[in-house]
A and B are shown apart, each in its own frame.
Chain A
């Protein structure tokens, strides 16, 4: 049921995540970060998330691009659940209609 490489990956993920959780408390609590370091750390999660989904933005399927555009608009005004529902139905419907 548990693959060795999968287990190793999960344990290492958990380890680095815990380090990020205690790191700020242990290392940064008596220091002030430079404005630059703050800017870089503030931008990091967004940079990673957008990079992971970047392939969707250059999809060769017109249905997928349209569905992504619909999802993007939904994400700017709605909360998580409606956005996911709209995104999933738009993708399903447009793929069915346009192919």
Chain B
């Protein structure tokens, strides 16, 4: 329904403008009801826009599942991790650092650091969620990953520019988010189940998948040489600590020195 309204607004600027103004005056409950008429199509639009990203995620999910099994996690444990935590970068970091028994504090701290970007993402999305009740926002945010956030925010900005209220389409967002969630949990689980067929990952070079995944993730975060200087500090400190200090301290040392570098360098600018 809403999609049809959008095309009308664009085709007939005169009457469409009036509709858009009326749209802005609608109360939030009316707007949600109106969106509800097209809920199925909004949801499908979300799933469809997510599809290309989803195919890119599958191999990455399979690798994570396979590596987790090699580190001694059972399939149930791996599915619990990807289903409850649902944040790929932190899961890769956790599996890379996994020992039996795991260093609980180290892994939880690393998880927090890797996922701290969600704080900024949530803050950026917040203005678009102002009119939604918290009982809807809190469950929806559980499914906020890089992909669903980017799609939901870009869509909200587009709709806002086209004069559609509310700009944020919860069903579009949930379509993208649930598609990502289902794909992530099922393909990491499949990776864990297929792992015994792959044998020792070191023999064939499968362990290089970790640096490969991490480097591609970092390329996605790249905003220029100046912003990447803290990463270089992290790399050098982590490598030195790894060479000269026993244990897994290199991760914490590298991460903290990079953050300190970012703090100091931001002062220059």
Nearest-neighbour CB distance to chain A for B131, whole angstroms, equals 13
| Cβ-defined partner of B77 (8 Å) among A7, A27, A93, A94 | A7
Given contacts A38-B120, A43-B230, A81-B59, contact A25 B129 (CB under 8 A): yes
In B250-269, the 8 Å CB interface with A consists of 250-255, 258-259, 261-263, 265-267, 269
**A42 contact set on B, CB distance < 8 A:** 117, 120, 223, 227, 262
B: which residues have CB within 8 A of A? 56-57, 59-60, 63, 73-74, 76-77, 80-81, 84-87, 89-90, 92-94, 96-97, 100-102, 104, 107-108, 110-127, 129-130, 137-138, 141-142, 144, 203-219, 221, 223, 227-228, 230-231, 233-235, 237-239, 242-243, 250-255, 258-259, 261-263, 265-267, 269
> What number of residue pairs across chains A and B have CB atoms under 8 A from each other?
305
Chain B residue with minimal CB distance to A44? B116
Nearest-neighbour CB distance to chain B for A28, whole angstroms, equals 4
A39 to B268 Cα, complex, angstroms: 12
Chain A residue with minimal CB distance to B202? A95
**A17 contact set on B, CB distance < 8 A:** 85-87, 90, 111-112, 115, 118
Given contacts A13-B81, A24-B123, A35-B266, contact A53 B211 (CB under 8 A): yes
| Cβ-defined partner of A39 (8 Å) among B107, B237, B265 | B265
Contact between A84 and B123, CB atoms less than 8 A apart: no
Contact between A3 and B120, CB atoms less than 8 A apart: no
Given contacts A25-B129, A47-B262, A54-B235, contact A88 B243 (CB under 8 A): no
Given contacts A13-B108, A25-B137, A41-B120, contact A49 B126 (CB under 8 A): no
- What 1/0 flags go to A56-99 for Cβ under 8 Å of B? 11100000000110011011101111011011111111110000
Chain B residue with minimal CB distance to A94? B205
**A72 contact set on B, CB distance < 8 A:** 211, 215
**B74 contact set on A, CB distance < 8 A:** 1-2
Contact between A80 and B59, CB atoms less than 8 A apart: yes
Nearest-neighbour CB distance to chain B for A87, whole angstroms, equals 4
Contact between A84 and B213, CB atoms less than 8 A apart: yes
Contact between A83 and B259, CB atoms less than 8 A apart: no
Nearest-neighbour CB distance to chain A for B54, whole angstroms, equals 12
Contact between B250 and A55, CB atoms less than 8 A apart: yes
Contact between B108 and A50, CB atoms less than 8 A apart: no
Chain B residue with minimal CB distance to A77? B219
Contact between A43 and B258, CB atoms less than 8 A apart: yes
| Cβ-defined partner of A48 (8 Å) among B93, B122, B215, B242 | B93
Chain B residue with minimal CB distance to A78? B216
Nearest-neighbour CB distance to chain A for B108, whole angstroms, equals 5
